[in-house]
Structure 1
Amino acid sequence: MKTETKRISPRIAADSGFTLMELMIVIVILGILAGLVVPKIMDEPHKARVVKARLQMEQLSVGLESFRMDNGFYPTTEQGLEALVAKPNFGREAVNYRTGGYVARLPKDPWDTEYVYTAPGKHGAYDITSYGADSEAGGEDTDADINSWETK
């Protein structure tokens, strides 16, 4: 009796996983969907805004990590998050800048204020902050800052 064995071609075996870019795209899509759905189903508008801010920060973090992988560094504080939308024309040169940028557009936080970006950050390679409802540093309750390095 002859036994048959199935062989997987090396090409198929090599193509069977997900690339980092595919996974990052899925994470961004899920973040966008969650950002659209969560505020509609939550009872408390402030909590929905905080969730939306955290999701937007996560999307910006994915863009920053992609920028770093392509160029070997994070954008400086002076280059700001704008470096994710358009190639910086000052400071350290981003020689492998991706055509089309790293995010389609820069979101404002749920209180219609720009996110604050610093690199290097005090809490990591970079820090992203939303000043909350009062649009000022510090604050408590609904005015509390939302920071990329804090998870709640």
Structure 2
Amino acid sequence: MDPRLRGDDEKEVGRSAEHGFTLVELMVVIVIIGLLATIVAINVIPATDTARVEKAKADISTIEQALEQYRLDNLTYPAASDGLQALLNPPASLAQPQRYRRGGYIKKLPQDPWGRAYIYTVPGKKGAFDISSLGADGQPGGENENADIYSSEM
């Protein structure tokens, strides 16, 4: 092997080991990563809120269907005092318990996406009942993700 080539290889190895990023270059990369993370966060957070509202609407629709099946079998909706638990177990106030479907009308009562129980109101604003969620803040009223969601308004 030619000794001159061997020496050049060693010099190249030495140079590349001494090469690195300067503090300014590292800071620029960190700032760019921070900006990208901010852009992603700004776009992802509203999508999460929208998904929660849509999940609440889907849950309310499922509960409405179970209530309709309950009414078809028992000729009435559950009393306000029995609440949505009447979809799981026959209520004591049921006039004809033999009409109650074995196994209930829903496997499990869902909680709203914010971890609270759905509210069953009899009579409802525009019909026999309302199923509602108070939104992200858990308070009546509100806007956007904090807005109340009512079955009668879907």
TM-score, scaled relative to structure 1? 0.68
Residue from 71, 77, 82 that aligns with 2:85: 82
Residue in 1 that maps onto 2:69: 66
Describe the SS at the equivalent of 1:44: helix
Describe the SS at the equivalent of 1:49: helix
Unmatched tracts of structure 1, length 5 or more: 1-41
Residue in 1 that maps onto 2:52: 49
C-alpha RMSD of matched pairs (Å)? 1.9
Partner deviation per Cα, 1:65-118 (whole Å, 9 max, x = no partner)? 000000000001111011001111136554410000000010000000011101
What does residue range 2-151 of structure 1 map to in structure 2 within 5 Å?
Answer: 44-90=47-93, 92-151=95-154
Assess if the C-alpha contact under 8 Å between 2:78 and 2:84 holds in 1. Answer: yes
d(CA) in 1 for partners of 2:129 and 2:95? 16
d(CA) in 2 for partners of 1:80 and 1:93? 17
Superposition misfits of 4+ residues, deviation over 6 angstroms: none
TM-score, scaled relative to structure 2? 0.67
Assess if the C-alpha contact under 8 Å between 1:137 and 1:145 holds in 2. Answer: yes
Unmatched tracts of structure 2, length 5 or more: 1-44
d(CA) in 1 for partners of 2:95 and 2:54? 33
Per mean C-alpha deviation after superposition, the further-off stretch among 105-114 and 137-146 is 137-146
Cα pair distance change 1:91/1:55, threshold 3 Å:
same
Partner deviation per Cα, 1:34-60 (whole Å, 9 max, x = no partner)? xxxxxxxx9701110011000000100
Assess if the C-alpha contact under 8 Å between 2:53 and 2:145 holds in 1. Answer: no
Give the greater-gyration-radius structure (CA).
2
Cα pair distance change 1:121/1:94, threshold 3 Å:
farther
Cα pair distance change 1:43/1:134, threshold 3 Å:
closer
Residue in 2 that maps onto 1:11: none
Paired-residue identity, %: 45
